[in-house]
Structure 1
Amino acid sequence: MNLTAIINKYADQIGGTFTEYDEHKCIIVVPLRDNRFQTVLALTEKSKVSGRTRAVFVSKVSDSVNEIDTAELLKVHANFDYSKFVIEDGNLKVVASCLAEAASEEEVKFMVQEVAQLADQYEYKLTGKDIH
C-alpha cells in the first residue's frame, strides 16, 4: 500500500490539504461541516504486536486530559468503527490503525474521515473550540 498516494488522492477528492513528510508520514487537513477543519497524521510503522507494517491515523483532541472523564471516553469509543481514544504525552487523541497490506483504499478514506470527525466532535465537546 502506498499510503501517502492514497491520502494525497483523497485530499484532492474532498478539497483538503495534503503535506508529505516522507514516504511513511503525511498530514491531511480534512474539511468538515460549519467551515471546520481537522488535521490527521497518517503514517506507516512496524507493529509492536505482529511485526507487520500497519497504517496509523492520528488526530489530537485536547492538549490535556485534566478534567476529562476518561472512563466515559472508554465507554463511548466501543461504538466507533475503527477509532479509539488514546492518551499520549498528556494529550488526548483519536487513533485508528490497520494492517497496511489488508486495508483497501476505501477503508483508508473511511478511517481518515472517522478520525477527523470524531476528533473534531470531541474537541468541540470537551474544549468548546476548534484548535486542531
Structure 2
Amino acid sequence: MNFKAFSQKFADTIGGKYNDYDDDHSIFIIPIKNDRFQTVIARLVRIDNQDAEVVHITSKVCEVSESIDYPAILEASADFKLSSFIVEDGFLKVDSAILLKSVDEAFIEQAIVELANLADEWELKITGKDIY
C-alpha cells in the first residue's frame, strides 16, 4: 500500500485535511458533526520478524488529570469495536491497531472515521470543548 497516496485520497474523499509527516505517518483533521474537528494520527508499523504491517491509529481526548473517571471510561471501552483508551505522553487517547493484510482501504477509512468520532465524543464528555 502506498500510504501517502491512500492518505491524500482519503482526506479528499471525506472533506478533511491531510498532512504527511513522512512516508509512514499521516496526520488527518477529520470533520465531525456540529462543525467540530478531530485530529487523528495514522502510521504504518512493521512487525519485527514477520512479513506484516499494522496501521496504528490514535487521537487525543484530553490531558490526563485526577478528575477523569477512569473506571467509567474503561468500562465504556468494553463496548468499543475496534478501539480502546490508552494513556500516553500525559494524554488520554483513543487507539486502534489494524493488521493491514487482513483488510482493504475502505475498512481503514471507516476505522479512522470511527476512531475520530469516538475520541471527539469523549473529548466533549470530559472537557466540554473541541480541543484536538
Give TM-score scaled by structure 2 length: 0.91
SS in 2 for 1:130: coil
Q: 1:28–1:45: structure 2 CA closer, same or farther, 3 Å change rule? A: same
Give TM-score scaled by structure 1 length: 0.91
Q: Which residue of 2 aligns with 1:111?
A: 111
SS in 2 for 1:122: helix
Q: Which residue of 1 aligns with 2:46?
A: 46
Residues matched between the structures, number:
132
Q: Which residue of 2 aligns with 1:79?
A: 79
Are 2:64 and 2:87, in contact at CA under 8 Å, matched by a contact in 1?
no
In 1, Cα distance between equivalents of 2:7 and 2:77? 24
**Could you tell me how far 1:31 is from its partner in structure 2?**
0.5
Q: Which residue of 2 aligns with 1:6?
A: 6
Give the residue type in structure 1 aligned to 2:32.
Answer: L
Q: How does 1:85-100 map to 2 (within 5 A)?
A: 85-100=85-100
Root-mean-square deviation (Å):
1.8
What is the identity percentage for the equivalent residue pairs of Structure 1 and Structure 2?
37
In 1, Cα distance between equivalents of 2:126 and 2:34? 18
In 2, Cα distance between equivalents of 1:69 and 1:98? 28
Are 1:7 and 1:109, in contact at CA under 8 Å, matched by a contact in 2?
no
After superposition, the C-alpha distances for 1:75-120 in whole angstroms (9 at most, x for unaligned) are 1112112111111122100011111222211110111001100110
SS in 2 for 1:34: coil
Unmatched runs of 5 consecutive residues or more in structure 1: none
